[in-house]
Each structure stands twice: as C-alpha cells, then as structure tokens.
C-alpha cells in the first residue's frame, strides 16, 4: 500500500508534467561498506566474490555485444581490457590472500586491493598503463555493484518508462540515456543553467532540480507526479492531486495545440520587426526537433557533447560526418557550430587532464583549445570541410579579449592554408563569430566587433561571471539574476558595439527561452534569439504578441531601477499583458 502524499519543492528547469515509477540512480562513487567477519564466513565471502566476478564478466560481454551492434566493433573492443581485469589472476589471488589474512568483508578488501593496483598503474609514465588504471576503476565499480546485489546502474540501460531520481546527473549521463524511457528528471542538486538542465530542455523532458535530499527519501518503484513548470515532485499523489493535475494537463495541451499552428509562421513582432528565432542543439540527432519546432536554423550547436562518453577523442573524419549531417539536416537554414567548450561542468570521461579547483575559471573552452592546438585543429578542419555545403558558421566560446580571439583566428588560418594545399574544399566565405559570455568581452565589444561577423551573447556564463555566482550551485541560485542591472548594461554595450560595426547580435543563453524576458531582450535590440527547441514555439508566440515600441518603453521605464527583482516585475507585467496563457 502506498503511503501519504509528500511534496518536495525544487526548481523547475524544464516544463511539463510527468507521472510514473521512480528509478533511483546512484552513480558508482559510493564507498564500499567495511565489516569484520568471522573465519567461518570466509568461504562464503569467497563464493560471493566468485559469483560477482562471473556476473561482471557476463555483463561486460553483453555490453560489448550491444555496443558492437550499435556503433561498431572498434568502439566495442575497449571492453577487451575490462575483461582482462576480471580475469586477472594476480589481482584475484591477492584479494583471496588478503581476505584470509585480514578478515573483512570481501567488497572492502576487493576495493582496497583494486584501488592500490589502479593507483600504481596511474603513476607509471606510460599512457597505455595509465589507461589500464581507468579500466580497473570501471570494473571495480561493476564488481562492487554485483557484490551489493544492486542492478547495474547506467541510465543507458533503462528499458521501461521511469522518472529518474538522482543526487546529481552529469552532462555525460544525459548524453547516453535512452530518451524514450525517461519520463522526467529530478535531482537533489543543480540549477537552471547547469548543462544537465539545458539537456533536459533540449530533450523536451520535464525536470526539477535543487530538491535537497529527496533522492535518499524515495524508494525504487515509488510513484511520483513531477511538475517541471512549478518545480514540484509529489510522492504518492492522492486522487485529488491527480485530478487537479489532470485539469492542468488539459489546459497545457490546449496551449500546446495553439502553438503547433505557429510552426510555419515568421517570428515577427506585431509592429513588424523580424527577430531571427533559432534553436540550440547538443547532439546531431537533435536536428529533427529544431525543424519540427519551426526554428530558423541552429543558433548554437554545442559540439562538446559529441566528445563526452568517448574513450578516444573523435577524429577529423568522425567529426566531419557529424557536422556535415547537422548542416545537411538543417539546410537551407544555417547552423552555428561552436568550437569545443570543454571544462566547467563538461569533462571528457577518460581525460588525462589535471582536475582544477575552479573549473569554470580554469582551462575551459577556447583556453583549452589554444593550449591543445592538436585537438583544436582537428575540429577546425572538420568544421571547415563541413562548411563546403554553404550553410555553416563557426563560433568561438569564452573569448575574453582581442588577443585571444586573434590567436584562435590564427589557428583557423593555419587550418585553411593546410586544406588549400591539400586541395580540400571548404567555404572561403565562412562567417566566424564569438560568444560574448565573459564580462571583459562585453566591455571591449567595440574592438571585438571589428574582428568578427557576429556576436552571440551567452547569458548563462555572462551572468555567472559578472555576478560571481556559480551557475550550477543551488545554494546561491537566488543570487543568479538575469535582470541584474549590470547584466543589462553589458548586453546594451554588446548590442550597441555590434550595430555600430554593422554586425548582428543574438542571445543563445537560457535567457533567450525565458518568455517573461522576451520584451526586455527585444527592447535591448538583439537581432536573434536561440533557445532550446522545446521552447521555440512559445518564444515565437511571445515575439509575435509584442510591439517593439512597447519593449523600448519598457527599457526607458527600467533605466532608473537598480533592483533585479523590480526590473523582472516590469518585464513580467508586459509579458503577462500580451501572453498570459503561456505564463500560467
């Protein structure tokens, strides 16, 4: 029998209502339990260990088979190294010897011995052996899971519909999951602009983050109702709650139906100004959702998601095929391919890069690429080759000033020269733009505008760097204020520098999809908005409902205000006047 209804309040980051059983996802970084055992228990511990090794071997073989069928034998062969670990006699014998000597439970002993092995290998100055340390870690986690009796946990292995509940879900987790079975996400930590939240919006999956300790209070199979608009998760919803939400769903469905009719219409304001409305994507497969949302092309393709969960960096050919597939899929409209933005909260799974104390302020994005021209050039060549069909633009992330931009452009020139010498075709007229997402870039936007063809304002980072509020830290989420007067000033500076130099300027951060802020962004004069595909229809409706003249009045009216809350209230007032049905 189900218990009483319990409500958990968090932050809604992707709209929609979902209901279903929960799948509680535990990433495998938990410590194994430590328990003294009696000598009479040793035989049983050895038997448990052997069973776990057999189960692990079977799981690896099955996974290898699945991956070979899905993406090819080459990628599947990485599991050969994992099989060698479960069959490693030296490791196994050492566990058995230590078990007899030390009398602790086998998971504790195994974790200790395996970690010692991995540590020794990781210290050796040989890339192959260091790689084996990662294999040992992976296999260790799997064996420990089998010893604990828990089913193997990867989001990719889910095969029926669930609401995924976790302490945290990383961008790598979201990149692998089978979206067909994910009804919704709910996490203890996170914020609106974490890349996990962005991914959820992109996949059109309702999501709530910042739920405190909810993941430890729910049990596998519990039934919940999740309201991604209001940031609510309801455990054991009563019949009355279900009925209320049934009504809400009928209302939302009506709004959605109305929006579908806008697909073929232009995003032009009521008084006739056209605003380019594009969509952001993370993976090549997302192109179809951009087309069906009625967007005018792709304003931001976050290429780094293609690099996550890979044991090796994708080579030029693989990248070229991915970029060309996106360009072909979106033609005749354009795609802005952003060069790698690794670091921050997006890391390579098998990276040998040192961990940093402040990754968002560290060797992220263009900084990483300039430090590693070997990796950067492969991507630039692939993008250049894909540009041949004519609808590709390129954009550099995290540019902080002119000299950094010039360095990036120099590497691009080297790649162009190489391709010309090799006789490989690319678009000589390729347009190159930059993200304006570091405050210093906004402040020198007048100089930067002379060097590029367009700007795209990355408000997610611009806000975190300007107000010094970590975008993924839920404790300070209340300080993350898109309508902070400092942010508005930086956007104004960027727009006026762009227009004075004859280039266009867009917004591709999450602010572009916040319909209560559409009047603000239009009033500030941006030419393009690029939002998650799922949000595009409502942004289009907002644009069509507004008058530029009224948006300009809004900007005049907030000039004397110095409170983010007061400015937000004014924006909401305008939005509510024109499209109340989208805001409730």
Catalog residues that contact ligand PEP under the rule CB under 6 A: 198, 300, 302, 341, 437, 458-461, 508-509
Q: Which window, 43-51, 162-170, 404-412, 461-469, contacts Mg ion (CB under 5 A)?
A: 461-469
- Select from ligand PEP, Mg ion, none the partner in contact with residue 202, using the beta carbon and a kind-dependent cut-off of 5 to 8 Å: none
**Count of residues near Mg ion by CB under 5 A:** 3
d(CA 322, CA 304): 12
Residue 153 vs 530, nearer CB to ligand PEP: 530
Residue 104 vs 455, nearer CB to Mg ion: 455
- Cβ atoms of residues 103 and 39 within 8 Å: yes
- Select from Mg ion, ligand PEP, none the partner in contact with residue 382, using the beta carbon and a kind-dependent cut-off of 5 to 8 Å: none
* Residue 458 lies near Mg ion (rule: CB under 5 A): yes
- Select from ligand PEP, Mg ion, none the partner in contact with residue 448, using the beta carbon and a kind-dependent cut-off of 5 to 8 Å: none
H or E element, residue 335? strand 335-338
d(CA 479, CA 464): 9
- Cβ atoms of residues 176 and 203 within 8 Å: no
Q: Name which position in 45, 188, 404, 437 contacts Mg ion (CB under 5 A).
A: 437
Q: Which window, 226-234, 378-386, 434-442, 511-519, contacts Mg ion (CB under 5 A)?
A: 434-442
Least distance (Å) between residue 569 CB and Mg ion: 27
d(CA 198, CA 513): 11
Q: Got the DSSP string for 450-517?
A: TT-SEEEE-HHHHHHHHHT--TT-GGGGGG--TT-HHHHHHHHHHHHHHHHTT-EEEE-SGGGG-GGG
Q: Which window, 38-46, 282-290, 411-419, 453-461, contacts Mg ion (CB under 5 A)?
A: 453-461
Least distance (Å) between residue 344 CB and ligand PEP: 7
d(CA 112, CA 297): 52
Tokens 């069973």 appear where?
A: 51
d(CA 61, CA 67): 10
- Select from Mg ion, ligand PEP, none the partner in contact with residue 228, using the beta carbon and a kind-dependent cut-off of 5 to 8 Å: none
CB atoms within 10 A of CB 305: 22
Tokens matching residue 456? 């795209």
- Select from ligand PEP, Mg ion, none the partner in contact with residue 391, using the beta carbon and a kind-dependent cut-off of 5 to 8 Å: none
d(CA 537, CA 520): 18
- The verdict on whether 499 is a catalytic residue reads no
* Residue 470 lies near Mg ion (rule: CB under 5 A): no
- Cβ atoms of residues 207 and 183 within 8 Å: no
- Cβ atoms of residues 127 and 136 within 8 Å: no
Contacts 24+ apart (CB under 8 A), 106-112: 106/45, 106/46, 106/48, 106/49, 106/147, 107/32, 107/33, 107/144, 107/147, 107/148, 108/32, 108/33, 108/34, 108/35, 110/32, 110/49, 110/140, 110/143, 110/144, 110/147, 111/31, 111/32, 111/140, 111/144
- The verdict on whether 508 is a catalytic residue reads yes
Residue 141 vs 302, nearer CB to ligand PEP: 302
CA 322 to chain centre: 18
Least distance (Å) between residue 340 CB and ligand PEP: 11
- Select from ligand PEP, Mg ion, none the partner in contact with residue 508, using the beta carbon and a kind-dependent cut-off of 5 to 8 Å: ligand PEP
Q: Which is the catalytic residue, given 195, 369, 571, 578?
A: 195
Residue 305 vs 426, nearer CB to ligand PEP: 305
Q: Name which position in 461, 510, 514, 527 contacts Mg ion (CB under 5 A).
A: 461
Least distance (Å) between residue 435 CB and ligand PEP: 6
* Residue 188 lies near Mg ion (rule: CB under 5 A): no
For residue 348, which of 364, 332, 362, 330 has the smallest C-alpha distance?
364
**Residue 366, helix vs strand vs coil:** helix
Least distance (Å) between residue 437 CB and Mg ion: 5
Residue 153 vs 459, nearer CB to ligand PEP: 459
Q: Cα-flanking dihedrals φ and ψ of residue 362, to 5°?
A: -100, -140
Least distance (Å) between residue 339 CB and ligand PEP: 12
Residue 131 vs 345, nearer CB to ligand PEP: 345
Residue 59 vs 464, nearer CB to Mg ion: 464
d(CA 311, CA 162): 28
Cβ partners under 8 Å of residue 569, min gap 6: none
Q: Which window, 54-62, 186-194, 290-298, 460-468, contacts Mg ion (CB under 5 A)?
A: 460-468
Q: Which is the catalytic residue, given 508, 551, 571, 578?
A: 508
* Residue 344 lies near Mg ion (rule: CB under 5 A): no
Least distance (Å) between residue 503 CB and ligand PEP: 18
Residue 171 vs 458, nearer CB to Mg ion: 458
- Select from ligand PEP, Mg ion, none the partner in contact with residue 484, using the beta carbon and a kind-dependent cut-off of 5 to 8 Å: none
Least distance (Å) between residue 458 CB and ligand PEP: 3
Query: What residues make contact with Mg ion under the rule CB under 5 A?
Result: 437, 458, 461
Q: Which residues are catalytic?
A: 195, 508
């Amino acid at each position: 029998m189900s218990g009483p209804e319990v409500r958990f309040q968090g932050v809604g980051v992707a709209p929609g209502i979902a209901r279903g059983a929960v799948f509680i996802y535990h990433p495998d970084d938990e410590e194994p339990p430590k328990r003294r055992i009696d000598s009479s228990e040793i035989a049983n511990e050895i038997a448990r260990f052997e069973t776990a090794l057999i189960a692990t071997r079977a799981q690896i073989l099955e996974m290898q088979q699945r991956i070979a069928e899905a993406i090819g034998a080459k990628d599947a062969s990485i599991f050969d190294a994992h099989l060698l670990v479960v069959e490693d006699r030296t490791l196994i014998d050492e566990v058995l010897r230590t078990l007899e000597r030390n009398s602790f439970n086998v998971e504790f002993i195994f974790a200790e011995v395996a970690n010692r092995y991995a540590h020794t290998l990781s210290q050796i100055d040989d890339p192959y052996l260091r790689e084996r340390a990662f294999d040992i870690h992976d296999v260790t986690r799997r064996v420990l899971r089998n010893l604990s009796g828990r089913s193997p946990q990867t989001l990719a292995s889910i095969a029926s519909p669930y609401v995924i509940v976790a302490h945290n879900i990383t961008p790598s987790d979201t990149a692998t999951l089978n979206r067909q079975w994910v009804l919704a996400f709910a996490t203890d930590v996170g914020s609106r602009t974490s890349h996990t939240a962005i991914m959820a919006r992109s996949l059109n999956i309702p999501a709530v983050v910042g739920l405190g300790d909810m993941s430890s209070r729910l049990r596998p199979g519990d039934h919940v109702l999740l309201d991604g608009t209001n940031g609510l998760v309801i455990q054991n919803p009563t019949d009355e709650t279900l009925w209320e939400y049934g009504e809400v769903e009928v209302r939302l469905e009506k709004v959605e139906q109305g929006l579908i009719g806008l697909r073929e219409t232009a995003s032009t304001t009521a008084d006739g100004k056209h605003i380019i409305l594009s969509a952001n994507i993370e993976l090549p497969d997302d192109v179809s959702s951009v087309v069906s949302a009625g967007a005018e092309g792709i304003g931001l393709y976050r290429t780094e998601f293609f690099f996550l969960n890979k044991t090796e960096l994708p080579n030029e050919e693989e990248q070229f095929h991915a970029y060309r597939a996106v360009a072909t899929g979106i033609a005749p409209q354009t795609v802005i391919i952003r060069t790698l933005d690794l670091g921050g909260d997006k890391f390579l799974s098998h990276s040998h890069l040192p961990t940093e104390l402040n990754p968002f302020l560290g060797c992220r994005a263009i900084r990483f690429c300039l430090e590693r021209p070997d990796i950067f050039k492969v991507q630039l060549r692939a993008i250049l080759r894909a540009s041949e069909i004519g609808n590709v633009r390129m954009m550099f992330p995290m540019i902080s000033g002119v000299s950094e931009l010039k360095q990036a452009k120099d590497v691009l020139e080297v790649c162009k020269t190489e391709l010309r010498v090799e006789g490989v075709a690319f678009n000589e007229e390729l347009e190159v733009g930059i993200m304006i997402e570091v405050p210093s870039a906004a402040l020198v936007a007048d100089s930067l505008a002379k060097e590029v063809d367009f700007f795209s304002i990355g408000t997610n980072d611009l806000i975190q760097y300007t107000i010094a509020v970590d975008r993924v830290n839920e404790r300070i989420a209340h300080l993350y204020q898109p309508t902070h007067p400092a942010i508005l000033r930086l956007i104004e500076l960027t727009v006026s520098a762009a227009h004075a130099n004859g280039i266009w300027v867009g917004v591709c951060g999450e602010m572009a999809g916040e319909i209560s802020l559409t009047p603000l962004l239009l009033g500030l004069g941006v030419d393009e908005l690029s939002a998650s595909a799922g949000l595009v229809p409502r942004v289009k409706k907002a644009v069509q409902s507004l008058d530029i003249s009224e948006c300009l009045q809004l900007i005049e009216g907030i000039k004397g205000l110095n409170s983010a809350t007061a400015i937000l209230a004014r924006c909401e007032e305008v939005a509510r006047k024109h499209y109340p049905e989208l805001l409730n």
